[in-house]
Chain A
Amino acid sequence: MVSPSRDLTERPARSQTMARDIRRLVIEHSYRAHVGHIGSSLSIAEILAALYGSVLHGRPDDQDRDRVVLSKGHAGLGLFAALVLSGRLDLAELESFGTDGSRLGVHPEPGVPGVDFGTGSLGQGLSVGAGAALAARMQGRASRAFVVMSDAELNEGAVWETAQFAGHHRLGNLVAVIDLNGQQAFGTTAEVLSIRDPGAAFSAFGWDVEHVDGHDEAALVAALDVTGQAGPPRVVIAKTIFGRGVSFMERQLKWHYLPLDDEQYARALAEL
């Protein structure tokens, strides 16, 4: 087994290096644990870096902090990497990822430091985030709720229940980020259930829609960092590349599932 680097947290979590470091941690720890779902974590590295490196207010024990729901819970390893790099989770704990007795599995569990809500079943996170946003508004707190979703998740009907509710109640402190990587569990989103224009669908329910390059961190920060004041909820449609950053994984469905072998691991690390 190739020894992973251990010095990532010793560097400041500067935003411009954070996305790359998230990818390195994802590759290293998925390899160590022999766990898949790599491509989904790689596609949201800049989204996570924008949130955890720039946008989020408040530490994990602060009741007024912004909340994050990783509704596409299968990218849990990407989230754990961002939590480590932003000082919310110990690197030592990340090293237990995927091992027997660890708190860190494929999908984030409640109780993991920095995890606001456990996830893993697609289509549920937006409603929880809307509840958090509504609660903050009712309590007069400045807290915002960010929900990171996959494009395939838009297949779930419950997403649209919440889209109606949040639009009707103008939850301006709710932001959904759609990781538009075009890939889903058994095909491409275009092949399985194409949504011609997801932004238009949200817009029809009264949301403010922003389209961004999901690998342009500065553009993501600008789109995500809403004031949280009264107004429509925002959806950020982030166009991404599944498996981004590792050439042989990009746009390849098998990296929704497969762990890395030794040779692939060495190639992936070299590219990062």
Chain B
Amino acid sequence: MRAAFVETLTELASADERIVLLTGDLGFMALEPFREAHPDRFFNVGVAEQNLIGLATGLADAGFTPYCYSIATFASLRGFEFFRNGAVWHDLPVRVVGMGGGFEYGAAGVTHHALEDVGVMRTLPSVTIVAPADAGHTDSVVRHVQTRTGPVYLRLGKDERRRVSGLAPGFDPARISLAHRGADGLVLAMGGVSSEAAVAVDALAAQGTKCSLGVVESVAPAPIEHLAELLREHPWVVTVEAHVRSGGLGSIVADTIVDAGVGVHLLRCCVDDPLASDRLGSESFLHEMHGLSAAVLERRIRDFARSVTDATGDPRADRT
């Protein structure tokens, strides 16, 4: 997603002189195309994320559209109060760009695992939050971000090859991006871990359980109407996210179930113990450990579907 982000932003900046890219000293071998094309609108502000966000407030007030780039934890958490009191309070078009949502930084460790960023940003109701499903959708997501007049949090993954199978090209902020359709149940995913959910859904389909798979890329404002519609069409829903329970995708879905009065069973696959682990490894290893790998998701979804059938007798809930 990072290469697609830089490519699109560099192109947009050629036509839009408001665009400025600020980085907190990260983006080596990634941000260079922008720097080369627009050297007067590129600033490495150093390892100083509070100043990164504060500068952007002053720039945006004067008419610029600053993109503030760092690893997702540092981008979203370190400068959070500056973002709240700056761009958000003053309703300015500052874009905080968090690289590496979830466990993408794997063995780099807990300081680099962005597991709270979406929840934290969702506490600020005027912030647009977008998390493209894969590199293929990043271009249209970035174009959408540039059209927003207020503050934005853009959560990106760094894996360029990752694809969610079955996803139609292009991104519609008012819709959940559907990769599969099936009547037995609904799986909703957010961020890079969506590709794990897609593999699990494919495996379940091969076993006879046909699920719909939706990727929630427009996290705030969430596509509530489409979400409620999908929830009504299915007997159960499973949410998948490399994010803590509070404030993430499962929280959006739970809120919608209550607010829209939909009778649907919910299983939230998320990270319940983000800081407790004393073991590290690759993103795949950490997904496995936290029950978010394709193999574990497949089992969890199957068991959940079965439990819903046992509890309700709804034959749609388990066709395996």
Chain A residues proximal to chain B, CB less than 8 Å? 63, 67, 110, 116-121, 123-124, 126-136, 138-139, 145, 157-158, 161-162, 164-165
Contact = CB atoms under 8 A, between A and B. Distances in A.
A145 B58 contact: yes
Interface stretch (B79-87, B104-112, B237-245, B298-306): B79-87
A103 B95 CA distance: 28
Given A127-B50, A127-B51, A165-B51, A134 B90 contact: no
Nearest first, the 5 closest Cβ-Cβ pairs linking A and B are: A131-B58, A127-B54, A135-B62, A161-B48, A161-B51
Contacts of B61: 116-117, 128, 131-132, 135
B120 to A, nearest CB: 17
A139 B55 contact: no
B57 A127 contact: yes
Which of the listed residues B54, B61, B64, B81 has the most CB atoms from chain A within 10 Å of its own CB? Answer: B54
24 contacts: A63-B62, A67-B58, A110-B90, A117-B90, A118-B89, A118-B90, A120-B85, A124-B81, A124-B82, A127-B50, A127-B57, A128-B58, A130-B54, A131-B55, A131-B58, A134-B55, A134-B58, A135-B62, A135-B63, A138-B64, A158-B50, A158-B51, A158-B82, A165-B46
B273 interface: no
Interface string B24-48: 0000000000000000110101101
Given A126-B54, A127-B57, 14 more contacts: A117-B58, A121-B81, A123-B50, A128-B57, A131-B57, A131-B61, A135-B62, A136-B62, A138-B41, A158-B48, A158-B82, A162-B51, A162-B54, A165-B46
Interface of B: 20, 40-41, 43, 45-46, 48, 50-51, 53-64, 81-82, 85-86, 89-90
A67 B60 CA distance: 14
A94 to B, nearest CB: 22
Contacts of B64: 135, 138
Contacts of A121: 81, 85
Contacts of A126: 54
Which of the listed residues A127, A132, A158, A162 has the most CB atoms from chain B within 10 Å of its own CB? Answer: A127
Nearest to B41: A138
Main DSSP-derived SS at the A contact region: helix
Nearest to A131: B58
A138 B40 contact: yes
B86 A165 contact: no
Contacts of B46: 161, 164-165
A128 B89 CA distance: 13
B58 A133 contact: yes
B45 to A, nearest CB: 6
Contacts of A133: 58
A124 to B, nearest CB: 6
A164 B54 contact: no
Nearest to B55: A131
A227 B152 CA distance: 36
Contacts of B82: 124, 127, 158
Nearest to B57: A128
A117 B86 CA distance: 8
A117 B92 CA distance: 12
Nearest to B40: A138
A158 B83 CA distance: 13
B55 A127 contact: yes
A133 B58 CA distance: 8
A76 to B, nearest CB: 14
Contacts of B48: 158, 161-162, 164-165
Contacts of A127: 50-51, 53-55, 57-58, 82
A132 B57 CA distance: 8
B81 A165 contact: no
Contacts of B89: 110, 118
Contacts of A161: 46, 48, 50-51
Contact of B55 (A117, A119, A130): A130
B40 A124 contact: no
Nearest to B78: A158
A132 to B, nearest CB: 4
A134 B20 CA distance: 11
Nearest to B86: A128
